[in-house]
């Protein structure tokens, strides 16, 4: 868990550096930083998405995940969590406005996007397993450095909600590390590739939002990660069935 804790602390530190920097820049510079963050996120998302080995699984997972996520209103639940966290820790009053947006929405937006970016990559998955099974923390330490720098950019562009994504890191990577012994047999190269590819698609949605191209409710697509994992587990049976028709 030590590597995951360091990862979380790096995100918090980077976030506060980003907030300190953001207070000293103009609105025009803030827009430039937000655009740069969008482009960098776009590149990261594309690199991850191209790791998928089965684009059909990716497409079906996103479609079904989006349907289920919208039905369950996951985006709304995340916003509610954002409202709670900001009222509890940020001192914001209900209904307050910041930069033309309700503060709770802005906070939740930063919390959600940062959490997705920091959690869905291959380094989070593989690094957690190496830490749990092999006691090798190298990958998570490397990820901590990268996440810390991205937290500076994200906090500058989106605000304090970025720092609270450290809670997501603690929960997600912590559970993966603690459960690595049980989960390791299921984490094949194909599983990591498909989870990373689907996560990359979610990161691309964040980039679209940051660049102002379209407003996508990224959280509603989170079930796609579970669905694509199910597809990979069922893949041997799918291949056998398909073989009968070839």
Looking at residue 92, what is its pLDDT? 47
CB 123 within 8 A of CB 72: no
pLDDT reported for residue 230: 94
Identify the bridge partners of residue 97 per DSSP, sorted by sequence position: 102
pTM: 0.80
- Closest alpha carbon to 110 in 142, 144, 145, 85: 85
Give me the phi and psi of 28, to 5 degrees please.
Answer: -65, -45
Q: What is the mean pLDDT of each run of 10 residues along the chain (246 residues)?
A: 92 93 78 84 90 93 96 86 73 41 66 88 84 87 92 88 92 89 84 90 90 88 93 85 65
Q: What is the DSSP letter of 120?
A: S
Give me the pLDDT at residue 105, please.
65
Q: What distance in Å separates the CA atoms of residue 198 and residue 55, rounded to the nearest whole number? A: 10
pLDDT score for 5: 94
What torsion, rounded to 10 degrees, do the Cα atoms 182, 188, 191, 195 define? 80
For residue 205, what pLDDT is reported? 92
Predicted local distance difference test score (pLDDT) of residue 237: 85
């Amino acid at each position: 868990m030590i590597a995951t804790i360091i990862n979380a602390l790096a995100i918090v530190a980077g976030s506060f550096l980003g907030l300190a920097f953001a207070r000293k820049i103009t609105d025009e510079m803030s827009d430039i930083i937000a655009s740069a963050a969008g482009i960098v996120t776009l590149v990261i998302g594309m690199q991850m998405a191209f790791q998928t080995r089965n684009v059909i699984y990716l497409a079906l997972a996103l479609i079904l995940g989006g349907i289920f996520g919208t039905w369950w209103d996951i985006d709304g639940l995340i916003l509610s969590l954002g409202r709670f966290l900001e009222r509890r820790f940020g001192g914001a009053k209900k209904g307050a406005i910041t930069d033309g947006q309700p503060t709770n929405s802005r906070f939740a937006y930063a919390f959600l996007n940062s959490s997705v970016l920091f959690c869905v990559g291959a380094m989070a998955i593989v690094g957690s397993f190496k830490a749990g099974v092999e006691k090798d923390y190298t990958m998570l330490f490397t990820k901590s450095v990268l996440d810390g720098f991205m937290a500076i950019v994200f906090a500058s562009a989106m605000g304090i909600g970025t720092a609270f994504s450290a809670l997501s890191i603690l929960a997600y990577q912590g559970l993966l590390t603690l459960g690595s012994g049980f989960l390791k047999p299921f984490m094949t190269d194909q599983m990591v590739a498909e989870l990373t590819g689907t996560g990359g698609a979610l990161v691309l949605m964040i980039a679209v939002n940051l660049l102002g191209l379209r407003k996508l409710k990224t959280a509603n697509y989170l079930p796609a990660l579970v669905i694509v994992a199910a597809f990979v587990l069922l893949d041997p049976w799918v291949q056998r069935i398909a073989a009968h028709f070839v």
